[in-house]
Structure 1
Amino acid sequence: MRIIFLNSMEKKSGEQMPSGAQVWIGEDEGVWRMGWNELTADEEDETVWYEGESWSELLHVYRHRLAVKLGEGFRPVIDGIFHEREEGKGKAALAQKLVFYSELNPNEALFTELSAWRRRRAAAERKAPYLIASNRLLRLISVFQPRTRDELLQLPGVGESKSAEYGDELLELTQQGERSFIFPLNWVEGTLVEEDFRSWLYKQKEVKYRVEMEKFGLRRVMLEAIAEGSDVEEMCRRTGLDRRETVELLEDLEKEGYELEPLLLAELKEVPEAEQTAIWQAYEELGDTFLKPVLQRVYGAELPAESNVEKMYEQLRLIRIRYRRQGPGVRSAG
């Protein structure tokens, strides 16, 4: 095997000698291999992270597995060539440190109150709770307890719009209890152990890269199914996704330029031609960003109770894929 990449890692533990490791990538007759060799006092333990023909898949696995090791405390002997560029300084870095601090110093009582407020608000507005505020934002508010609109705006995730819409209600909940610190929150950085913060950052990356790696795997399965002429139901069976998730992934594949026309025609063959034409015309008139206006234009604002709304939205998404590929005014018959 021809080694094309090799780098060394160290993990320090108190006053003990640092633990050593190496990450490597090799190639042999078109097959890529990647692994991790961890060195101990007695032996070398090798773990193969990837073996296959896809360089793209190897990179997804590499990022995820490397983030795991960095989160465990391993660091490259030579910085700057082993991983993507470290986060910069300024507001973005401070925002991450505020989130890290809030996870280290939770205020569960106030967080519970804020969560209850969010549930009430979401029910009243008929929105998903995360559209009102994320758990991360509620955690920040509960820990730093802003008392004024200006203080609220200093928390990452709060903009003028959210402050104007929900600020008064949030501040009413944060006025109670004592607060032992002041705004601005620049002091937070001085309370953190830098190495602990770096490990936390890499654990956040681990989650992000795991999602990307899993999505890449699903994408590969979908492409294989498309090449074999499978329908959406078979794709759901292979991937474990529901129909909506599968169609959304098909939309992503269309954006990447993959040919989906035979699949789309097969899935839409039961939809009457007049109905497909009406949907196409609605996209031309209303645009293809939002589905609800198109649904209402084609099927009416008040749908019968027995309507299969999920099925309607699926058809809208499938036709939207064709619309985006062919463009307004050039629809070909199914």
Structure 2
Amino acid sequence: MQLIFLSTLECRSADGTSATAQVSITEHQGAFRVLWAGETQDGKGEQEAWFEGPAWKEMLQAYREGLWQKRLAGYYPLVDTSLQTSGEGAKSREQLMLQFYAEIHHNPELFQELRKWRRQQAQKESKSAYFVATNRMLHMVTAFLPHTMEELRQIPGFGKRKAEAYGSEILAVTAGKERFGDFPLHWVYGEVDQGQFEVWLVRQLKSKEELEEQRERMRRLVLEGAEAGLTLKELAETTGQPRRELVLLLEELDQQGYNMEPIIAAELTGMEMDKLDAAGKLFTKHGPRFLKPVLQEWYTVEELEGQDLNNLYEKLRLLRMRLNHAMTAVGAEQPHSEDMAPEEEEALEEEAG
């Protein structure tokens, strides 16, 4: 029998006692086994076989699912394994602790005040609210209450550019507010309950993994729908997703090189040729980055009366994708779609952060 992997974990209780356990992956004659060996609360040994079989992929899934459950129960590795780095990239453990502490100790009233400021600022700049500041950043501001620009820059996410752009308005909200601890924020690490933090961290990683899996399933459904030439309405019925989310995903897939033309053609069928030509000329005039200037000239004020603006923005996004292909063919700069019109930003506000 060959030992492939072994990790030791510990679970600490409120009375200061602790229990240890080991999870191992072994291989024998082409069959894998995942075994959990630990202690019960009364000190007796216990073993759980999480997987036995030849399938490597299924073995890894069983290992990960079993480890999620144990970490939710309070176990964490004595030496960090790849589980933690799989979902948080380059973020340090200290930054994650600041986020965890802030989620628990933020000021709800100040948080709502900053959300209102963020919405207004995003509208001024014609960008999505989370490009101004994420919910996590605002949680940390209202939990740690910086009073100076230097202190604000110690909060993860507020680099030099964001601090200079928004610092004075944020500090006007936090000015004079009494706070629990001072800057720098090293004291936070001693205030964090490590067991609770590990449970929170596992849930964050698990949630992100589930979202990524869901997004990958959605990508496959959309690609199948594109190949079949479905309309947005038919795609929405098939996937259960809002049309707005589908259009954003179509743009992402289009930029990655997938052919979205069947959906574009199906969705624009029946639209007057002069309107299609006019949109192309307006994109040439204003550039493809922002949609609102194009819409304002595409239809007169009178023509917009009673129109579904969301539907018109969808069509402009689809036309922009088609324009992207034409510009690529002649070697011109491709349009960017990350910036949205103010009408669309409002719909994304609740998802900020």
Q: TM-score normalized by structure 1?
A: 0.72
Q: For residue 242 of structure 1, what is the amino acid of its counterpart?
A: P
Q: What's the counterpart of residue 112 of structure 1?
A: 109
**2:323 is aligned with 1:323:** yes
Deviations 1:123-156 (A, max 9, x none): 5875776565433222212221222232223222
Classify the secondary structure of the residue corresponding to 1:183.
coil
C-alpha distance in structure 2 between counterparts of 1:287 and 1:66, whole Å: 52
Q: What's the counterpart of residue 256 of structure 2?
A: 256
Q: What's the counterpart of residue 48 of structure 2?
A: 44
Residues 319-328 or 189-198, more deviating: 189-198
C-alpha distance in structure 1 between counterparts of 2:97 and 2:83, whole Å: 23
- Do 1:60 and 1:209's aligned partners in 2 also have CA atoms closer than 8 Å? no
**2:102 is aligned with 1:102:** yes
Residues 241-250 or 260-269, more deviating: 260-269
5+ residue gaps, structure 2, are 39-44, 331-353
Q: What's the counterpart of residue 175 of structure 1?
A: 175
The offset of 1:251, in angstroms, is: 1.6
C-alpha distance in structure 1 between counterparts of 2:26 and 2:271, whole Å: 53
**2:230 is aligned with 1:233:** no
Q: What's the counterpart of residue 212 of structure 2?
A: 212
Q: What's the counterpart of residue 11 of structure 2?
A: 13
Q: What's the counterpart of residue 309 of structure 2?
A: 309
Deviations 1:207-261 (A, max 9, x none): 2222111101111222233334433222111111111211221222222322222
Superposed, 1:144-223 pairs within 5 Å as: 144-160=144-160, 162-164=162-164, 166-192=166-192, 197=197, 199-223=199-223
- Do 1:119 and 1:129's aligned partners in 2 also have CA atoms closer than 8 Å? no
Classify the secondary structure of the residue corresponding to 1:258.
coil
The total of aligned residue pairs comes to 311
Q: For residue 275 of structure 1, what is the amino acid of its counterpart?
A: K
Residues 1:124 and 1:20: Cα distance change in structure 2 (over 3 Å) = closer
The offset of 1:181, in angstroms, is: 3.1
C-alpha distance in structure 2 between counterparts of 1:294 and 1:63, whole Å: 52
Deviations 1:256-308 (A, max 9, x none): 32222223212212122222222223333433332223323433578633122
RMSD: 4.4
Q: For residue 280 of structure 2, what is the amino acid of its counterpart?
A: W
Residues 78-87 or 6-15, more deviating: 78-87
C-alpha distance in structure 2 between counterparts of 1:297 and 1:64, whole Å: 54
Q: For residue 269 of structure 1, what is the amino acid of its counterpart?
A: T
Q: What's the counterpart of residue 31 of structure 1?
A: none
Higher relative contact order (CA 8 A, sep 6+): 2
Classify the secondary structure of the residue corresponding to 2:254.
helix
Q: For residue 286 of structure 1, what is the amino acid of its counterpart?
A: H
C-alpha distance in structure 1 between counterparts of 2:101 and 2:289, whole Å: 38
5+ residue gaps, structure 1, are 29-33
